[in-house]
Amino acid sequence: MALFFCTYIFHFLFLQQIIKTNIMSVYKRVLLKLSGESLMGDDNYGINTKRLNDYAEQIKEISGKGVQVGIVIGGGNIFRGLSGVSKGFDRVKGDQMGMLATVINSLALQSALTAIGCRAKVYTSIRMEPVGELYSKDKAVASLESGEVAIIAGGTGNPYFTTDTAAVLRAQEIHAEILLKATKVDGLYDADPVVEKDAKFIREIRYMEVIEKQLHVMDMTAISLAMDNKLPLIIFNLTHKGNIKKVVCGETVGTLINH
């Protein structure tokens, strides 16, 4: 009887551990797009340590559940290429400066993740060892399969393309099941909710509708690339702690855009 009871307890605890570590997530591999501006937190410029550490904790949580996480980060909290053009910078040089800003953000996130025991590697779209390893699909996928968070910096490596487009491109390359665009708002609205008080929240929409209605969720190059490759996209608010876990567990959070 005692042996039976011990065996029962062992199987119960084993099952609980399986549930805890695996069954919660509905996605095996995701690409998370973080905006540079969101890293500012309540600051006017740069990287807010509290916001950075909060993001790292949430990323570690889903990585610990067995979700393979690729990340692309913008650089708008440090430098944005288009804003540089308005100040007299050459567009190509401005975009290259923006690419370097994304590398700074990526290194900061890697450092924050490593500090809390989450393995992460930075890949760069242009060669800059030892800052980061030159990106290739095979190396990034190998990192993901080994349990590392793969942070892919430098945008596409080319001017005239945004980090949103880079996120869609990398998501396709690493065969992510879904692109998660983390923002400071709850999702997509039919108008700017800051300007229009009557703006209506959109729970689900097709890519073609986004294009037809000119909804500014991502640049049109990114939207078209995602639509052509039938890549689903969820826009959600990452400043609400726990949202990323809810998204990967299949809860209804934010706005779903699909083909």
Q: What is the pLDDT of residues 151-163, one digit of tens each?
A: 999 999 999 999 9
- CA dist list (Å): 21 to 34, 61, 103: 25, 10, 31
Distance between terminal CA atoms of the chain? 57
pLDDT at 85 over 90: no
- Window from 19-33, 100-114, 206-220 with minimum mean pLDDT: 19-33
Q: How many degrees, rounded to 5, is the angle at CA 45 between CA 94 and CA 160?
A: 20
d(CA 113, CA 87): 35
Whether 14 maps to a domain, the answer reads no
Whether 18 maps to a domain, the answer reads no
Please give the pLDDT value at position 81. 67
- Mean predicted confidence (pLDDT) in 230-235: 96
Please give the pLDDT value at position 25. 74
d(CA 82, CA 72): 19
Please give the pLDDT value at position 92. 92
d(CA 22, CA 146): 16
d(CA 253, CA 248): 10
Q: Which two tokens stand for residue 177?
A: 């099941």
Please give the pLDDT value at position 184. 84
| CA-closest candidate to residue 62, choices 251, 253, 245, 254 | 245
**The one-letter amino acid at 63:** S
Comparison of pLDDT for 43 and 81, the residue scoring more: 43
- Window from 30-44, 66-80, 83-97, 109-123 with minimum mean pLDDT: 83-97
Please give the pLDDT value at position 4. 47
Whether 12 maps to a domain, the answer reads no
pLDDT at 190 over 90: no
pLDDT at 232 over 70: yes
- Mean predicted confidence (pLDDT) in 171-180: 98
- CA dist list (Å): 60 to 29, 37, 68, 73, 192: 14, 21, 11, 16, 32
Give residue 8's pLDDT band: very low, low, confident or very high (50, 70, 90). Answer: very low
Share of residues in the chain with pLDDT > 90 (%)? 73
Whether 151 maps to a domain, the answer reads yes
Task: For 52-177, list the strands marked E by DSSP.
Answer: 68-73, 120-124, 133-134, 149-153
- Mean predicted confidence (pLDDT) in 123-138: 96
Give residue 80's pLDDT band: very low, low, confident or very high (50, 70, 90). Answer: confident
Show the domain range for 109: 28-258
d(CA 218, CA 89): 24
Phi, psi of 191 (to 5 degrees): -160, 170
Whether 4 maps to a domain, the answer reads no
Whether 209 maps to a domain, the answer reads yes
Number of domains in the chain: 1
For residues 66 and 17, is the Cβ–Cβ distance under 8 A? no
Q: What is the domain-level CATH number for residue 245?
A: 3.40.1160.10
Whether 185 maps to a domain, the answer reads yes
Share of residues in the chain with pLDDT > 70 (%)? 89
- Window from 27-31, 195-199, 205-209, 230-234 with minimum mean pLDDT: 195-199
Whether 15 maps to a domain, the answer reads no
